[in-house]
Structure 1
Amino acid sequence: MAPGTDVNDLYAAYDRLSFARPDGVDGGVLLITLDDPERMNATDAAMHLQLSRVFRTIEDDDSVRAVVVTGAGRAFSAGGDLAWIAEQVGDHAQTMRVMKEAGDIVRTMIDCDTPIVSAINGVAVGAGLAVALMADVSVIGEDVRITDGHIRLGVAGGDHAVAIWPLLCGMAKAKYYLLTADSLDGAEAERIGLVSKAVPSDEVLPTAMEVARKLAAGPVDATRLTKRALNHWLRQALPNFEASLAYEMLNFLGPDAAEGLAALREKRAPDFSPDAPS
């Protein structure tokens, strides 16, 4: 960042996210908040696009030595906005746009050498969960519920999970939670290794900030290069991730996604049987 540049100038285009420097510019910590609390920070077109770009901006901001990402209000992110998802079902052009952005969220978080800490203060689903778990250090409330609900919608788990869940919690647990779409709480997520730390709800953001301050105070080059080296494990998984993302988008063009979306809107169980009416 050039001398005298204000955080609001550099990040002004990101109107679905809010930014703060709790310790000032010299502290080196940037706090990013998914900022749509009335809708529990659900991911719509604007927020999804901005999440796909913000980590490139952070990578270019030399004043930031650590990042904390959290959600406004009582949720981290309640998943994809249903009206936005409806625009994608059966629409090839929209599906291609979303596929690029979803891939960019994962790839830019991997390639951003600045360490990222997530403060998972409430429910996390969909693209919000991708950001929460792709962070280098994840702090979650012990009672917070998370789920990768792609199967419930009738699409393959393509946002992020194939890239990182087997590395975090092992293949057996990854398959169980991704194939069933069962939810789990923060305490269980920590037990199986899916997150770094589970703490009481009122300690989530303070703990994440404590970790970020420790990272920001450390040797910048050594910290960034350690992250870069560790993330080569994730880069090896990118072909698997790209396949999962393509399969997810293919499913959005089929009948199961339409049924899954209708079931969510009508608050009923979906009927994915082959002879179900389309």
Structure 2
Amino acid sequence: MTDRYAAFDRLKFDRPAPRVLRLTLSNPGKANAVTPTMHRQLEEVWAAIDADPETRVTIVTGEGRAFCAGGALDDMPVAGALDPNQQFSQDFNNATRLVRNIIASRKPIVSAINGAAVGAGLALALLADVPIAAKTAKLLDGHVRIGVAAGDHAAIVWPLLCGMAKAKYYLLTNRPMTGEEAERNNLVALAVDAEALEATSIEVALELAAAAPTAVRMTKYVLNHWLRQNEAIFDLSAAFEMVNFSGAEAKEALKAMEEKRPPDFTTDVLF
């Protein structure tokens, strides 16, 4: 690759086909969990791709057996580390920039969901213009499981894709679904056998790259207005998520995960 992407050292890039850039999430040994540095690079990379004359389509995938396990648990906000206003502003701005920058990107994105996609990783997967999943991939929002509201992309995307009833069912229960189930629920465009995922993602990317680029980008822009016009919903979900991170439920959920036991949510806080 050229120096164009040298600053994005926590991501990997290659060109599997003419005018197609493949961005691979890479955090070996941690299921490609998103560290703060990787998160910042994922916020900024879309503008660099839009400015790249050699790229018309981007494929996003994960290294190894996982797509992305979401935010790295050992990098979750620590209560008291910063002033509460600073912590909220930092985390809220980071989360909203990632989602907004993907929505604002001009060039089409294909996601090749090769394995587990959770939290922020699922946001990357489902905000792609053409999400393609391996039938055996595992999709899980994951927010309620760690004691926080379903922020990131979920409140803005899921009701539009799969309807309110399914969105509430999966986001509130935090039940996972396979790639095959995600296709049936309209969360992804296609579900294919795992061994066909790479070839299928390249095939779709090449089809998009061969189409009239201005028409494709304008069509994407118009369709993404469905998301932009609901940004107030997204802002509220992200704000609730950040507030929850400083609460007792998130602390208990994360402690329970570390200790490999069920969380104890016996204290009920009225909302």
In the superposition, the TM-score normalised over structure 1's length comes to 0.92
Please state if 1:266 is matched with 2:266.
Answer: no
Deviation at 1:12, TM superposition (A): 0.7
Could you report, residue by residue, the CA deviation over 1:183-229 in whole angstroms, capped at 9, with x for unpaired residues?
01111100010111000111112111110111001100000000001
Equivalences for residues 1-278 of structure 1 within 5 A = 7-23=1-17, 27-87=18-78, 91=82, 92=84, 93-274=86-267
Does the CA-based 8 Å contact 2:27-2:34 persist in structure 1?
no
Q: 1:264 to 1:115 in 2, by over 3 A?
A: same
Runs of at least 4 residues of structure 1 off by over 6 A? Answer: none
Unaligned stretches of 5+ in structure 2? none
With 168-177 and 266-275 compared, the bigger mean Cα shift is at: 266-275
Choose 163-172 or 264-273, whichever is displaced more.
264-273
Q: Specify the SS of the correspondent of 2:68.
A: strand
Q: Alpha carbons of 1:260 and 1:79: their partners in 2 closer, same or farther (altered >3 Å)?
A: same
Give the C-alpha shift of residue 267 in structure 1. Answer: 1.6
Deviations 1:134-161 (A, max 9, x none): 0000110111111001001110000110
**Per the alignment, in what secondary structure is the counterpart of residue 191 of structure 2?**
strand
Which whole-Å deviations, capped at 9, do the CAs of 1:57-99 have from their partners, x for residues lacking one?
A: 1122232100000000000011221110153687433442222
Q: Distance in 2 between matches of 1:123 and 1:265?
A: 20
RMSD across aligned positions (CA): 1.6
Q: Distance in 2 between matches of 1:134 and 1:155?
A: 21
**TM-score in terms of structure 2 length:** 0.94
Looking at structure 2, the residues matched to 170 and 275 of structure 1 have their Cα atoms a distance apart, in angstroms, of: 29
1:223-267 deviation per Cα after TM superposition (whole angstroms, max 9, x unaligned) = 000000101101111110011000100111211111111111112
**Matched residues, percent identical?**
50
Specify the SS of the correspondent of 1:39.
coil
Alpha-carbon contact 1:79-1:128 (below 8 Å) kept: yes
Q: Deviations 1:106-155 (Å, cap 9, x if unpaired)? A: 11111111000000000000111100000000110111111001001110
Taking structure 1 as reference, are residues 90 and 159 closer, same or farther at Cα in structure 2, changes over 3 Å only? farther
CA distance in structure 2 between the aligned counterparts of 1:88 and 1:213, rounded to whole angstroms? 47
